[in-house]
Chain A
Amino acid sequence: MSVVSAARSGLRSAAAALAATTGGSGERGPKRSRPARYSAAGLIARGASGRTWPRAWRELPLQRSYDVVIIGGGVHGLATAYYLATNHGITDVAVLDKSYLGSGGSGRNTAIIRSNYLTPEGIAFYDRSLQLYRTMAVDLNINVMFSQRGHLTLAHTDAALRTMRWRAEVNKLQGVDSRVIDPATIERLAPGLDVSSRARYPILGALYHPPGGIVRHDAVVWGYARGADRRGVELHQRTEVTDIVVEGGDGPDGKGPGGRVTGVRTNRGDIATPIVVNCTAGWATLVADMAGVELPISTRPLQAAVTEPVKVFLPTVVVSGSLHVYVSQTDRGELVFGASVDPYNNYSVRGSLEFTEELASHVLALMPGLSKMRLLRQWAGLCDMTPDYSPVMGFTPVGGFLCDVGWGTYGFKAGPVSGETMAECIATDQTPKLIAPFALSRFAAGRLVGEKGAAAVGH
């Protein structure tokens, strides 16, 4: 960081401190004397005294310039900001979101975490994320309810079983716990599944991944937001980026390959910055268009649904590729169902009756005992699908414009490792090894990282 910007952020924090002690007004948040740590003792004390918790992060006026501007306040944008501040001491960072934090896929996903992918590149990457999830509750001082309850991918055909064996072997080679199990073992792990040979699609076996599980997605988002805020990052909600200013590029208005980013325009005014990071998932193309960068991405809605709560009976996550459905049970007892993306490109998040009907019939084919259960809610989120089911990460042909997109239906689990590697990418101006295979340039080079076999059913 330059001396100028260091001095600038010093001045700014002095101004912010002054504003906080004088109470502040307008946009400024309430005074925050000492950041509250979350703890059981604190919970009891506050419960007894009726004292409320302070706000988890500040609301500040928008500055005219930052060292780094991150577009998108989902888990990817927030984790990138958190690791920039924590691992690299870069704190003059703003995260801008057109809506509220976690309003995109990060607040709509089914929260499944796993690393049993198909390619060596994918496995190494997602496994690092799983490790970060293991220590997250302590690192972020928030209960993210990470539960490594095991993950089963059912095979109903010989072809599917072959893919499971392939995945298990590649996983084992990378030190990831994955194995193929038989129907009797499946029945023990997931009671309620119809493992008989009478089923419409008999279960022949499954890929069992014990470290897989679920997490509380909102807590992960809030944890990164609070951690980033505490280290000096600014979080700006209801701040929509409407254009990216690029100079010297090949395209119209100086945008496009060969250009350099100098700032962004927002509904709250212009911001000067040398680095812009696109973390907008389903909206990724619209933001990349603003810089003149073309992406191999199609936006598709993914729907999910949840039932009324019942007594906990399903201890693992169950996925069926052939039936395009997956199920897990929350600690509260609700069954959470997901499926594959809608069959055509779309930017609207309206649910459809076809989805519910198909989902219900497939769930009942797997678990006939659920026929009396009622669905409580159904919703959708936008997914940024790539041709090879792997993300697009790192530098682009426009200088200072980085992407962390292409997260499709599987990107929540990747939040921590993406934040860590994108922060390193920005701080060192070099692409970390772990994400080099996911560069945008792989499409022109014809070096795709095919993960469809491990990621076609959304989760």
Chain B
Amino acid sequence: MLLVPCPHCGPRNATDLRYVGEAHPRPDPGTASIEEWRAYLYLERNPAGWLRETWYCRSGCRRYFTLERNTATNEFRQPALPGNKVGGRA
């Protein structure tokens, strides 16, 4: 069972949250080229190790937040500044 440390609710079972995905910085839709936009939509870093990712606390505080998780060991670490926002993955 994966316990996700929600910055607002504390540790919660992963099934209480929705995994949004890798937290990519979003290019400015006004100036990004089509290729840049598609790279943002589709390409993934997918490392076997530390990954910055976004979760949505579906049955808790209903807020989005960004965390770092090691995808090989499932440890979490807090990059979190208070109130940090999503990368806004589509």
Contacts and interface: CB of A to CB of B under 8 A. Distances in A.
Contacts of B39: 294, 443-444
A443 B21 CA distance: 18
B43 interface: yes
Contact of B1 (A286, A295, A347, A352): A352
A53 to B, nearest CB: 38
B1 A348 contact: no
Interface in A281-297: 283, 285-286, 294-297
A394 B44 CA distance: 19
A297 B46 contact: yes
Interface string A343-382: 1111110001110000000000000000000000000000
Most buried by A among B35, B44, B53: B44
A298 interface: yes
A26 interface: no
B15 to A, nearest CB: 6
A295 B46 contact: yes
Given A443-B38, A444-B39, A446-B34, A344 B2 contact: yes
Interface of B: 1-2, 14-15, 18-19, 21-22, 34-35, 38-39, 41-48, 51, 53, 71-74
17 contacts: A285-B47, A286-B48, A295-B44, A296-B44, A297-B44, A299-B46, A343-B18, A343-B19, A345-B19, A345-B53, A347-B71, A348-B74, A352-B2, A387-B42, A443-B38, A443-B43, A446-B38
Given A348-B73, A354-B1, A354-B15, A443 B42 contact: yes
B53 A444 contact: no
Contacts of A346: 71, 74
B46 A298 contact: yes
B14 to A, nearest CB: 7
Contacts of B42: 296, 387, 443
Contacts of B22: 298, 345
A152 B72 CA distance: 36
Interface in A198-252: none
Interface residues of A, number: 22
Q: Give the most central of B22, B34, B38: most A CB within 10 Å.
A: B38
Contacts of B19: 343-345
B38 A347 contact: no
A344 B71 CA distance: 9
B38 A345 contact: no
Ranked nearest first, the 7 interchain pairs of A and B with the lowest CB-CB distance are: A285-B46, A296-B42, A344-B19, A347-B48, A443-B42, A347-B72, A294-B43
Contacts of A299: 46, 48, 71
A341 to B, nearest CB: 11
Given A283-B48, A298-B21, A354-B1, 14 more contacts: A286-B48, A296-B44, A297-B44, A298-B44, A343-B15, A345-B19, A345-B53, A346-B71, A347-B48, A352-B2, A354-B15, A387-B42, A444-B38, A446-B38
A354 B17 CA distance: 14
A293 to B, nearest CB: 10
Contacts of B1: 352-354
A345 B34 contact: no
A347 B47 CA distance: 9
B39 to A, nearest CB: 7
B43 A295 contact: yes
A285 B15 CA distance: 26
Contacts of A444: 35, 38-39
A380 B76 CA distance: 22
Contacts of B47: 285-286
Contacts of A343: 14-15, 18-19
Contact of A296 (B2, B43, B51): B43
B31 to A, nearest CB: 18
Contacts of A387: 41-42
A345 B73 contact: no
Q: Which of B43, B46, B48 has the most CB of A within 10 A?
A: B46
A285 B48 CA distance: 9
A343 B20 CA distance: 10
Nearest to B41: A387
A344 B69 CA distance: 11
A392 to B, nearest CB: 11
Contacts of A286: 47-48
Contacts of B15: 343, 354
A446 B39 CA distance: 10
A440 to B, nearest CB: 10
A418 B44 CA distance: 24
